[in-house]
């Protein structure tokens, strides 16, 4: 009597019920982490941005000490990557996008709303506290969970992990999968074909699918 055939869904369910999830983990550098699965939640140890910084090229000011149409001396120049000294009262500081806001300043006037007059700068707009300033921790705060355990790491996640100071993460060990092609007719490219032979093309297609 012929054996009873099982439906495909039932066979897949039986196979899956016998699988044991991988529990082995290890540290993996970010350069090798793409496509792997996180073994633990990732929390941030820093604020992003780490300090209030300028969202524009312009002038850092104290909003209470400047007015529209006023002329002010430029007392400092603060490029990104540098930290200026406290803002001198009654002056402004030239500042560039991403540079940290100096102490005693609370707003940035973008350069399009100013005009250089001699050795001073004129403010051509009303100034509000906090304008054009990205506050500390606006994107990520200390203790925030940025990625959860079990997530498959994507290229954009690598940038996020690096942005909070990670050079490696704990991931689950990747699966080890063997592919075995059978058949007397199969031959590996680029060997010349003999009568009745075909190239083993499925091996490469399956390998690509498994790696993906």
How confident is the prediction for the chain on average, in pLDDT? Answer: 95
What is the widest separation between alpha-carbon atoms in the chain? Answer: 103
DSSP-derived secondary structure letter, 30? G
Domain boundaries, the chain: 23-45+140-199, 53-134
Residue 67 pLDDT exceeds 90 = yes
Give the whole-angstrom CA distance, residue 139 versus residue 98. 14
> Quick check: 114 and 58 in contact, CB under 8 A?
yes
Please name the residues in contact with 165: beta carbons below 8 A apart, sequence gap of 6 or more: 45, 46
Residue 2 pLDDT exceeds 70 = no
Give the whole-angstrom CA distance, residue 108 versus residue 131. 6
Asked whether the domain spanning 53-134 has the same topology as the one spanning 23-45+140-199, the reply is no
Q: What is the mean pLDDT of residues 96-104?
A: 97
The CB-side HSE value for 116 (13 A sphere, CA atoms) comes to 7
Per-residue pLDDT of 121-177, as tens digits, reads 999 999 999 999 999 999 999 999 999 999 999 999 999 999 999 999 999 999 889
Topology adopted by domain 53-134: Molybdopterin biosynthesis moeA protein; domain 3 (2.170.190)
Please name the residues in contact with 34: beta carbons below 8 A apart, sequence gap of 6 or more: 153, 154, 155, 158
Q: Where residue 1 falls among pLDDT bands split at 50, 70, 90?
A: low
Topology adopted by domain 23-45+140-199: Molybdopterin biosynthesis moea protein, domain 2 (3.90.105)
Residue 21 pLDDT exceeds 90 = no
């Amino acid at each position: 009597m012929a054996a009873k055939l099982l439906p495909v869904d039932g066979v897949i369910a039986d196979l899956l019920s016998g699988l044991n999830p991988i529990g082995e983990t290890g540290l993996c550098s970010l350069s090798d982490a793409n496509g792997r699965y996180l073994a633990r939640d990732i929390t941030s140890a820093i604020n992003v941005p780490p300090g209030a910084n300028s969202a524009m090229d312009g002038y850092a000011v104290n909003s209470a000490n400047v007015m529209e149409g006023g002329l002010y001396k430029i007392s400092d120049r603060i490029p990104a990557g540098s930290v200026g000294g406290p803002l001198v009262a009654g002056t402004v500081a030239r500042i560039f996008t991403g540079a940290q806001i100096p102490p005693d300043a609370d707003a940035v006037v973008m350069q399009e709303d100013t005009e250089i007059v001699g050795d001073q700068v004129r403010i051509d707009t009303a100034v509000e506290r906090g304008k054009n300033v990205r506050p500390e921790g606006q994107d990520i705060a200390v203790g925030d969970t940025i990625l959860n355990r079990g997530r498959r790491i994507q290229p954009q996640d690598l940038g996020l992990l690096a942005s909070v100071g990670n050079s490696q993460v704990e991931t689950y060990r990747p699966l080890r999968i063997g592919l075995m092609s059978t058949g007397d007719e199969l031959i590996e490219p680029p060997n010349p074909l003999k009568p009745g032979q075909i190239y083993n093309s499925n091996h490469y297609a399956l390998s690509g699918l498994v790696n993906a």
